[in-house]
Amino acid sequence: MIIKVSGIQPIEASSCAAYASSSVAQVAEVTIPTDVGGNLDGKYFTLWGANNAVGYYVWFNETTATAPDPQTLVPELANMTGIEVAYTAADTGTVIAAVADGLIQAKAEFVTAVATAAKIVITNAAAGGCWAPADGVSGYESGISPITVTAEGFTAFDDTNLKMYKIIGKIADHKQYWFGGEYREDANKKTDITIIVPERRIEYFAEYV
């Protein structure tokens, strides 16, 4: 993983205590679109459990169509677990979301996945940083929109006296990254990110400043 860093800022001691005192489970929202002529068939989006320990791809399978499981076609899904959502062409987002909701709830990594109309609110079962939900790669986009992270996952630090720094920059490649639970992120992949790290981790970023 390479980060093109644009800035490193110290965080005030009062803010450091907040990062050290409590762990947070990620809460994210996705809105499922209505199918139009089977256009969701074979498309997917991804979900991650706490600490990126387990990755899932939620894929849509229209019952009369022939699109294959995207894992057979998309290399990035090779080590992920599929959640197949069967539906009928022209089903509304609300109908499809209700099916997806039950299937996501059945996974141990997610304590709740409450569907409200076409929106699914997904809460991780455990605290810890992880990737936000993301739509499929080019050609396999499900069109879920918007994707909103309402609570970023975070693992608390044991030492409330740690000096903390904010790293601001861009990820220059698309690979996953993880520093033993000791970071936060505002977004993933090739977008602007903010990572909170302890002083002892600054060395990992110095060469990219």
- Alpha helices in 7-121, H assignment, sequence order: 13-21, 93-105
Same domain for 44 and 115? yes
β-pairing verdict for 134-135 and 147-151: unpaired
How confident is the model over 111-158, as pLDDT tens digits? 988 888 999 999 999 998 888 899 999 999 999 988 888 888 877 665
Same domain for 201 and 175? yes
Q: Which residue segment(s) compose the domain that 93 sits in?
A: 27-151
Mean pLDDT value across residues 98-117: 93
Same domain for 81 and 170? no
Domain boundary among 136, 151, 166: 151
Among the listed ranges 5-14, 70-79, 105-114, which one has the minimum average pLDDT value? 5-14
- pLDDT score recorded for residue 184: 39
More confident residue, 146 or 77: 77
Q: Who contacts 18 (Cβ-Cβ below 8 Å, separation ≥6)?
A: none
Determine how many CB atoms are found less than 10 A away from the CB of residue 190. Answer: 11
CA dist 95 and 33 (Å) reads 10
Please, which pLDDT band fits residue 17 given cuts at 50, 70 and 90? low
Same domain for 108 and 200? no
Whether the model clears a pTM of 0.75, i.e. scores above it, the answer is: no
Same domain for 57 and 135? yes
Same domain for 49 and 141? yes
- Dihedral (CA of 41, 30, 77, 208) sign: positive
Which of the 8 DSSP states describes residue 90? T
Same domain for 95 and 176? no
Q: Who contacts 80 (Cβ-Cβ below 8 Å, separation ≥6)?
A: 46, 55, 56, 57, 71
Find the angle CA(53)-CA(56)-CA(61) to the nearest 5 degrees.
170
Same domain for 37 and 122? yes
Longest dimension (CA), the chain: 59
CA dist 139 and 7 (Å) reads 35
At 155, give phi and psi (nearest 5°).
-105, 125
Task: Answer whether 136's CB lies under 8 Å from 44's CB.
Answer: yes
Mean pLDDT value across residues 4-19: 62
Among the listed ranges 44-48, 114-118, 127-131, 175-179, which one has the minimum average pLDDT value? 175-179
Same domain for 75 and 132? yes
Domain boundary among 131, 151, 171: 151
Percentage of residues in the chain having pLDDT higher than 90: 49
| 121 token code pair | 């609110």
Q: Where are the beta strands (DSSP E) in the chain?
A: 3-10, 27-31, 44-48, 55-62, 81-87, 110-116, 119-124, 134-135, 147-151, 164-171, 192-198
Among the listed ranges 48-52, 125-129, 178-182, 199-203, which one has the minimum average pLDDT value? 178-182
Closest by Cα among 119, 92, 91 to 104 = 119
Scan for tokens 């209700």, then name that residue. 98
Same domain for 140 and 176? no
Please, which pLDDT band fits residue 40 given cuts at 50, 70 and 90? very high
The domain tally of the chain equals 2
